[in-house]
Structure 1
Amino acid sequence: MHRRPTALSLAIAALACLVAAQVHAQTAAATAELNRSNYITQIKASAAYALGATGKGVTVAVLDTGLNNKHGEFAASGRLLTGSNFSGSGAATDTMDRQGHGSHVAGLIGASRNSIGMMGVAFEASLLPMKVLNDKGAGNTGMSDAALRAIAGRADIANMSLGGSQPGDTSAMKYAIGKGLLIVAAAGNDGLANPGWPARFARETWANNQIIAVGAVDSRNVIASFSNRAGDTAAWFVVAPGVGLTSSYLGTGYASMSGTSMATPVVSGAAALIKSRWKTLRADQVANILFVTATDLGAPGIDAVYGRGLINVEKAMQPVGNVTTTSWNGRTIKVLDSKINPSPALGGIWTLAKNSGLKVIAFDDYQRDFQADLGANVTKPQALSLDQMLAEHSGRLQVTEQVLADGSRFTLALQMPEVQPAAAPLPFLGRNSQQKLAAFGYVSRAKDDGLEQAFGLGLANQYFGLTGTATGEALRGISALANPYLGLVPNAAYAGGSLPLAGGLRLKAGVLSSGLKPAWQGQFGLLADSGRAEAAVVELQRQFTHTALSLSWSGTQERGAYLGTQSAGGLALAGQARTQAISFAAGWQLAPGWALGAQAAFGRTPGYLSADSLITGLSAQRTQSWSLGLAGANRWVDGDRLTLSLSQPMRAVSGQLQMNVVSGLDEFGMQQRSQRIASLVPTGREQLLELSYGRPYKLASGQPLWLDAVLALRSQPGHQADAPSEAALMLRAQGRF
């Protein structure tokens, strides 16, 4: 059934069309206004508008022929202040422009953004007209000096699109500069090598960097033929668009004019934008920001034609120099030096970073405040990669185990480097060997009293834990079954021993340390300086005919890391972390050549408080992990090996992070701080499934190879619930040629 439209629905539809048409017309008008104000695009002023900087709250005095206060760009703006007439003719408050120059200049500074005609660079700045030139455009330094004294303390910026060939008296300028006034002065239109006066005063020491000399360029950023050059005032000289600029004029009209007089108000407007965003800036700071952020033109660096170059508002609104913030105890922190690489155990930090929880207020060299997102300095969880899979599956390692004459076992892991190693080869490898010792382990034969000793480097997880039992030996190579808390001591050297107890139990104990000297690290290839850590472990094992059980306690102390998380600067965590953990593991020999293993571990790391970092503390962290592994050998051909594992990496199940950061400024520019507390429990649970198969193979030439394939599937990587699942496949053939 079809309903017939009612009169009301037709009226609503017509109104909607009318509104849409009006919006379109307004948008088109605004676009046309901006297009006629092409100097705004040329100096990239729209970047300031996007930050809310429009000139509001800043007063710009226009020392000129007056201002046409009847023009639509000014009349209804509410931004015209009562000025003064120093031109020598007319009433003291008669600032009406009857020549046109001053109105054109004022429009370029602050004409309204009203979708009509054109718009000023700082379209919400207050304008203070000071008539220092008569209706014929003539005047003298006495007139401008009187105006400078009058505006000192009333205006933030003085626009002086005027000048002469003689310097004149400087007392009024010195007085105004002493009162904190920024003076923007035209360089002159005589095509000379140096600016005219008063712009040329910018080079004087007493000017205190509070005078900006302005030259003109065309739409292609080429110096205008009429513009005076930077010359001996180059360090205080900038250029701006000054050829064919449209602006307000006499009556209700507009005019196109050229000259350094037109370029100067463009710079004054840019200065007003900066001042309106950061009202505590001094005049010399505003000028310096425009100087150091200008786009270089002409000869590289400060040159005698373009001086500093073309003003660039977009760059001027960005931080200059070091970007810093402060810790709770007042320590200065460089934002770019504040970094953190969370381990899976602290994946909640990445969640915090994604949700903009690490935004702070930071400051540049001019103490301007900016919002800095430290989340950009948080390392994203590593995706599955070939390098990672090679590392997990002994990319270029050759592992051999020898049983010595006395029954002791010696295990070697050798690395074949990409290039000949610089370190001298170990004696038992041979002088010409390209192999390099990566890890080793030694276990003595149990004596009559059942005692055994062990030591090694990089193979601690083959002695402690499930794979250190007779049943668990078949599960070696499944890295997921290793004790994750011993993994907090990377590439550890270890020493330990075991003794028998009643009831078939065996007690193991040992210590681990990653604090080897760099010389040893270089010799052992795979070892990297990743912070010093130590651990002590005590373990009870029980071996049955086809089953093994293991219960262990470990105490780990990290220096320079926190649960494997590396950090620095404002995001630095505690300098050391002590973790105690309990691990349960079991292994079963299901059938000849088949073994199954399971492991679960639970840890607790005490909290801490700190005043040197933006992260002022962590509560106690509770973590856990688990894994399952299946291994088969000699199933289809002699020497082949199949493994399957499913694991959850270490994950926080409780714990909070506390921050104390600068969150804003009050009306007086004083820093305001806030405290934030966030959970470190991540939103998801990563699970990693790995299937691998390897077998020996012999080429027709008799050359032996090892072929293997690894398939890895990972859900919720980094314990992030919204992270897409990952899959990776590695096919590899290894041989020695």
Structure 2
Amino acid sequence: MTLPSRKFAAVVFVLAAAAPVVAVSPAWAETMRDKQWYLQTLDVAAAQKITAGDGVVVAVLDTGVGAHPDLDGQILDGTSYIGEPGSFRTDNDGHGSSMAGVIAAKGGNADHLLGIAPKSKILPVRIASSRSQMGPTNIPEGIRWSVDHGAKVINLSTGGTVIDRTAEDAVRYALDHDVVIVAGSGNTSQFPAGSGVIAPARFPGVVAVSAIDRDGKAWDGAIRGPEVVLSAPGVAIPLVSASGGNRVVGYYPTANGTSIATAVVSGAAALIRAKYPQLPAKDVIQRLISTADDAGPPGRDPDYGYGRLNLVKALTADVAPVATNPLLAASPTATPVEAGKGLGDRVNLLVVVAGAGFLVLLVAALGGWLLLRRR
């Protein structure tokens, strides 16, 4: 949902998705489940036969989570940094409720949406109010609170270009406490050209997510950059529209954004954590990136990261454990300047060796000539 950016004293944050429109009844018989094309793309039915995310707590740091039939029983007691402490169930914007639905909507018949991890639980942390009245978002405090209250995955479908060190410290706190953080790379409609992947997605150790469309192509509305880790469906996605403000309880028929793709990956992380409850966060991340379907140029690239999310493979592949979070490891690849310097050193060495050899031959020849003259 595209929201106007607003600058504050230390932080600029906006929610990173495209604004949907409340649904009207379609003239055809297409159900809400039919609109969830990505369920087939990711083979969610097969994944949920393995696990549905039982017992995993996913914190959604957003605008709160309102009431909706698809989310009944899915929402834990959270906290709010906007308004009253108990207002985490107030969502005057709709964004947070929509993200919660992508992750944990419980399904039912075809007229209801199904989340990626419908047996996970959502821990709502209200860090923003509405698109027109966005206040300081308290992301650092929200991350720490989520970690301290049982979250195993943190969904950050939000971010900004200006951020203080406390947010990066909070990310490190989460990583040190075995929590997977998933964040959106950002939307081009919200940030100036060249601003790069937004924070906290760009922080080391965070799973930065970009969006793809139904054809598996990189969405041209997503911010691209070297920090992108994964890509996931985020175009033409139906969403929960929960109560709050003047909105009708129902559904948004279609929306685009890296926010949505982020929630899809958070759901995937919840499934992995449910299937492998003893698996450390670093190995959850390794599963996500090592099983992704490579797209674009070979290897990691600015549009797809390590590739497109492969949900079933992430749950079933034989993946070796890693010593550290793979997103914190230094790149072993030398920079072009360093590589060029190395080549120059080798060339210089060859020149010296060749020159020395020529000098030896010259001295030997001269010595032989003098010897002949003396005779």
Calculate the TM-score normalised by the size of structure 2: 0.70
CA RMSD, 1 decimal: 2.0
State the alpha-carbon separation in 1 of the partners of residues 71 and 302 from structure 2.
38
- Higher alpha-carbon Rg: 1
State the alpha-carbon separation in 2 of the partners of residues 85 and 232 from structure 1.
33
Question: Contact (CA 8 Å) 1:43, 1:310: kept in 2 or not?
Answer: no
Aligned: 1:136 with 2:136 = no
Shift of 1:305: 2.0
Shift of 1:122: 0.5
Pairs within 5 Å for 1:620-635? none
Amino acid at match of 2:287: I
SS state at 1:213 partner = strand
How many matched pairs?
A: 278
Pairs within 5 Å for 1:189-588? 189-190=187-188, 194-201=196-203, 204=204, 207=205, 211-229=206-224, 231-234=225-228, 237-251=229-243, 252-255=249-252, 256-321=254-319, 365=321
Aligned match of 1:86: 81
Counterpart of 1:111 (choices 94, 100, 105) is: 105
SS state at 1:120 partner = coil
CA offsets 1:582-629 (integer angstroms, 9 cap, x no match): xxxxxxxxxxxxxxxxxxxxxxxxxxxxxxxxxxxxxxxxxxxxxxxx
State the alpha-carbon separation in 2 of the partners of residues 278 and 124 from structure 1.
15
Amino acid at match of 1:146: E
Shift of 1:79: 2.6
State the alpha-carbon separation in 2 of the partners of residues 160 and 139 from structure 1.
16
Aligned match of 2:14: none
Aligned: 1:160 with 2:156 = yes
Question: Contact (CA 8 Å) 2:32, 2:238: kept in 1 or not?
Answer: no
Aligned: 1:123 with 2:115 = no
Shift of 1:37: 2.0
Q: Where do 4+ consecutive residues of structure 1 move more than 4 Å?
A: none
Amino acid at match of 1:112: K
State the alpha-carbon separation in 2 of the partners of residues 232 and 38 from structure 1.
28
State the alpha-carbon separation in 1 of the partners of residues 97 and 321 from structure 2.
37
Which is strand-richer, 1 or 2? Answer: 1
Amino acid at match of 1:105: M
CA offsets 1:104-139 (integer angstroms, 9 cap, x no match): 111000011211321111111101010001123624
SS state at 2:87 partner = coil
Amino acid at match of 2:70: E
Report which structure shows greater RCO (CA 8 Å, sep ≥6). Answer: 2
Question: Contact (CA 8 Å) 2:104, 2:120: kept in 1 or not?
Answer: yes
SS state at 2:235 partner = coil
Shift of 1:36: 2.6
Amino acid at match of 1:41: Q
Shift of 1:273: 0.8
Shift of 1:365: 4.5
Aligned match of 1:180: 178
Calculate the TM-score normalised by the size of structure 1: 0.36
Which stretches in structure 2 are left out of the alignment for 5+ residues? 1-29, 244-248, 323-375
State the alpha-carbon separation in 2 of the partners of residues 224 and 248 from structure 1.
22
CA offsets 1:680-710 (integer angstroms, 9 cap, x no match): xxxxxxxxxxxxxxxxxxxxxxxxxxxxxxx
State the alpha-carbon separation in 1 of the partners of residues 280 and 33 from structure 2.
30
Amino acid at match of 1:308: Y
Q: State the identity as a percent.
A: 34
Aligned match of 2:70: 73
